[in-house]
Each structure stands twice: as C-alpha cells, then as structure tokens.
Chains A and B, each alone.
Chain A
C-alpha cells in the first residue's frame, strides 16, 4: 500500500519536474498523501490530531532537519548525525560526532518509524517527539545551541518566512511550529518496505529463502520477546548484559533515579542493520557478528539483567554457528533500500 503510494507520488513528481520547464501550472497535480500507516503496522502512538502531517509542514520540517543553523556555529544539522544512506544514523561512528569535533557518549539512533515510539533517547527521559529535538540542539557535544537563538536565526531567512507561512498560515516562527514541522518530517521517515514486509504483506509473491525462513523461526523463538514484530522492538528499556562501560553509563536510571532502571537502555529496532553499524547504545560492536557473539557468550550478570537473558540459570542466548548464519540471513530481510533511497526524505 504505502510503497505504492510513494511510487505514485514519485512518478507524479518526476512528471512535474519533467513538465516544469514548459508549464508550471502542472504542479497542481502534485499530491501529498501525508502519513499513511503501513498495513502490516500497528496503530501509531503519536498524536496526529494535534499535528496532522501536511505537504508544506513536511517540507518545512525537511528544510529544518537539514538546516545547519540549528547548531551554535551553523555547521551541524540533524542530518549530520542522522544520515539517510545510513538509515538516518551516523554510520561508522561508535558515539556521535558533533560540533567542533566533540564526541558524545551515545550512538546516533535511527530516525525511523518514530510514530510508534513511546520514549526517545537510549536512556529515555523524553516521551514526546515534539520535545525531542531540544536535546540534540542544546547538548554541548551535539549542536551546543539554544532554542531561542535557533528561532532568531530562522526568522532572519526569507526562505523560512515563506515555508512557515505555507505550513501554518502565517509567518510566525514559534517553538511549537518549529517542533511540529520537525516532527512532521521525522514521522514520514517510515521504513516498511523491506523484504520482510513484502513477505508479510504477500506482495509480488515475495517469499523467504530456506535460510531466511529458518532464521525467522529461530528469531521468533530466541529474540522476538524484546524485538517484537513488525517494528522489531517493544519500545521497552532493558539491561541486555553489556559489560559496564568506562564511563559507567547507567541508561534509564539517569532519567528516573530508580534502582530498578540501572543499566537499562531502549531496545533498538532490528530494521536496517546493514546500514546502521556499529551497534548498542555506545556503538561498541562493529558488526552484527559481534552482537551475536555477545548474546551467545559475553552476557554479564550486572544489576537488573533482563530475565530473558538468564533463563534456566544460564546467561545469554545459546546460538550455534548454523543459528548465527540463519538468523543473520533473516535479519538481512529487514534492510529497506527504498527507505534509504527515498528522495522525498533527502536534503533538497
């Protein structure tokens, strides 16, 4: 469904671009379908009633997402650490690399399927997408700017005067409008066209290979209790038995100060792993093989270790070499090339 819509939109756009030179009037046929729930996805968590996605709101959000003026010295945009070709992560960086070459403490998470997110950041603390961008904008190691300055800089640019008016009816640049536009762009970053999705939706006779199918069965038995389909995360915070890091990042505890939250981090989605290495909240594993080795052999008994990783008194998840091969084959079906190549989501 969704894929078809995007495709139609894309071709319409091509048509528009092709015709533009001769007859600008044709642009009127361009249609924006807004947010559409993929048929194999659950009902979104985001409150669309307070912020319906519109074409002009989305376009404003996209411009802001790629706007370096969001940072103190106008060098870093959201897109700097959330690169589309890396499924909106900062591929190759264990921790994010921000302003003045400063390094953060966490791995840049993907901007993907956020309409279904109940909590944001690896360690929680933010529970509303509309309030999330304040964190990277104000964080010393990321954009090191304050929101008041950002809005002042945006107000000076005629481009934004035009875009805000188109999106919200008047030229006013307010915090709420700024945040809502960014949300509209991020909400449209939907990854739902992997091979897995096509198999599930029975599109174009898509089927798993024998290895993929075997891997899927193993995945369901050994991984799916936390990495719940079809988003491949249950959105919860868990301690997956990582050895304590040198900086002793305690994850969710920092935001809640509850003993039972020490060392818990958000369960990440398993979509698009091909593009998003390295893995874990601090990017400590460079490859998927490293992650599987961790679950097989390296799980540590630290405070609040998840019960699923100590079943039967044994730490971790036992995996044979064959298991690893088939699970890897299945996980590869979660890579979504259309998502990372979708021109609508790119800097224009």
Chain B
C-alpha cells in the first residue's frame, strides 16, 4: 500500500511551492534565508515528484480527489507516466535555473530593490506549472495556467525598464486573450456536456453532436496553441522573451510553451481521440517548423534566434501529436523532455555569453572560444543537441518522430518528413553561425566588435608581463578574469543542465520505455479514466 501514499501526497507538488513562496516573501529582507528557503522548497518538491514518477511508472495512472467530493464533481488530480515525467523534468530544470539566478544575484549584488520579488514569483510559477500538469479537470487546468501566467507577468517585467514594459504589454495582452478563449471553451464544454472533469468528458464528449464537438475541439486547440506558440499564433513569443533577464527567459522557454503542448496532447488523446483534425495539425506543424527556423536565420541577436528556434521546434512536437500513432506519441513525450532541457540550457549559455562578451548580438561577438573555453563547451553540446546531431537526444527524438511519420506513409506525412529534416539542417546552420561568429572568429574580425571583447582578446594574446591595458574595470576587461565575470555558481548550474541533456542520451533506453508506456496508456485512455472515476475509494484526500 506504500504506492497509495505517493499519490495521496500529489497535491503537495502544488502546495509546497506556494507555501515556499509565502515563506520567501516573508523573508524578503533576508536574502540568504530567502534563497535557502526557495532552493530547499524546490529540492523537496523535486524529491516528492521523483517519488510520484516511480509510483506512476510501476502502477500506471492514479488519481486523488481533493476535499472528498466524488470524482465528476470535485477537483481531482491525476498522475500518469506522462504528467509525472513532465513534473520531474520541469522541477529539475527550475531548480538548476534557480541556482543560476542565485549565482547571478549574488555576483551582481542586487539584494535590495524589486528583485526581492523574484524568488516568491518563481515559486508561484513552479506551482502553476505543477498544477497544470496534475489537473484532472479543465477548470483546474485553467487555474494552473493562470497561476503560472500571472507569475510570469511579474517575472517578465522585473524592474520595469522600457524594453521589458514594452515586451510585457504584448505578452500579457496575448496571454489574457488566450486565457479568455480557454475560459470560453470551458463554458461551452460545460453547456454541452454538464461536466468539466476530463475523465468524465472523455466519455460524454463522444455522445454530443459531431459539429458541436468540432467547435469545442478547435476552440481548445486555439487556446492551447497560443500558449504553446504554434505557428499562426506564435508571433508574441520572439517579441517578448528576449528582453527578460537570462534565467527568466530560460525557464519560460523551457516550461511555459511545454505546458501548452502538454494540454494539446491531453486534448488530442483523452478528450478528442480519433484525430479528426490531424491533417490540419500536420499542416500547422510543418508551417511552425519552417517559419520558425527561417525567422531564426534572420536574427543577429542570439536570444532572439533562440526564441525562434524554440517556436520552430514546437512544430516537431505538433508533428508527433498529429501523427497520432503510439510510436510518434512516445517520441513526442521524449522530445518534449529533451527540448525543455536543451532549450533552457542554451538560454542559460546565452546569459553567460552576454556577461562575458558584453552583448548578445552575435555580429559583435568574437574570440569567446579563446577567452572562455568552458563557455565554448557549454554552448557546443546543447547546440549540437538542438540541431539533432547523433548521439545526442535531439537526434534520438527526431528519429522516433520520423519513424512515426514513415509509418503513417501519406503524401502529407512525407512532406512533413522532408520539412522536419530541412528544419533540422537549418537549425544546425543557425547554431553553427553563432559558433563561427561568437566563438571561433577573432574579436577584431567582427564588424563592430564590443570594445570589452577587443581589449580582453588583446590582453589574452599579450604575454603575462603584468602590463594591463586599462585599469578602470579590471574584472570585465581582463582576459584571465573568467571567474570574476562568470560566477562559478552560474557556470555550475549551466553545466548541470548540459549534463542532464547528455544524460537523456545515456538513459535513452529506460526513458523510451517510459515514454512508450506513457503513450500507450494515453492512447488506451481507460487507465486514466478508471483512475479518476474509480478513485473514490482511494480518495478521502486531505
């Protein structure tokens, strides 16, 4: 019966970060205590979610009913392989990004000021993400979305500078409109079926008029599509993400869009199985991939380029969802986990590059490989991973997706296969360009190199005779001042995340087993439905 205990504490995955946020808010005058509390909370949450994952892996989908209300009426939280995997990956990534942010905060000494709101808001964000992954009914999913979005509004506009406010307005308005659309869809779903519980809906939606079904289906997909940044609805993302502080952009890129993808996967497998909109989704996936990566190629700013590759690679996940077979869905699950880790680590590296080179504009960077070999390694591994070079996890995930496409075998699927390969190649081109410019070429060869880099490169080349050129800013300008500009904590956190990305390859076997199991359970649907609707006796809750 020990596994029953695991599911019974599932709500703590949401509650712990919220309580931690309250604690962090109280401790805002004591930065050290605040950091300890935040990191401690996330560690606890991660441990709890790992337990949930093990339990879900052994016993399949389980549900807990909160407040003792019988399943279709009360709030239920469901853990199956997919949601447990997402929980663990997202919290692990949040934890490393938090370490990175803490390192940055300590290095820059920004204890006072509006930054003290960072830690509580960050924990609320994690709580929202966990809630969205655990939600067993549509309305709780909406609440999860709202929690994470509201926290993200605060994080995105941290400090309230001109650029962040400008980006924040676009982001908030688009997010609010998509949330309203989602709420509208929930209202209509309730009007049509009389329930918002997803397990209950799985049965009841099939009974209503096909036309109504299609309207509800499309409305939900559009609402989630905005959050997941799927092609025609993705233009807000590269506009708003790059201006935020590096750790914030990193965690947004890793988690927020994936929550949208998660919701789309649930909609497609649990609520509206059968894939009536698959052809449309395939076209959307193709356009998402191509338009995104072409946008990435046009960018000079590294962070903007990464934002575009982010939207582009959402297309791969849509491809997997739209293919609809167990193989493709398993690959999608694996790919989502891979993409969370890799995209986040690249954004963290972008933050480090900006610190080292003074700018994130690749046209103005150079010599970084010589100035900071560690940074070069940290960039190179996730970059190749993103482009899908074997043996990295990006390659494994893409092979799985392509196999799903080959199995499908329709002409459109072949077009998508070609599109996916082209996107992969163009991604390689985009990251190789960054590598050539920022890391390999000499700073002097840059069109308009950042002065900091020029002097640092000069210092590095000159023999160490002690004749330092400029003495006003010794840390920034010294070629050997790596440790001063790049705090060890930040480099360590990035390193952990990069290592996690490599671990996805090393443990690809068990992970694919898990993903296979998850996708089969999702396609079968009965385990999920039975877990919720037959859960009254395990419930009782808290």
Q: Are A and B interaction partners? A: no
Interface positions of B (Cβ within 8 A of A):
none
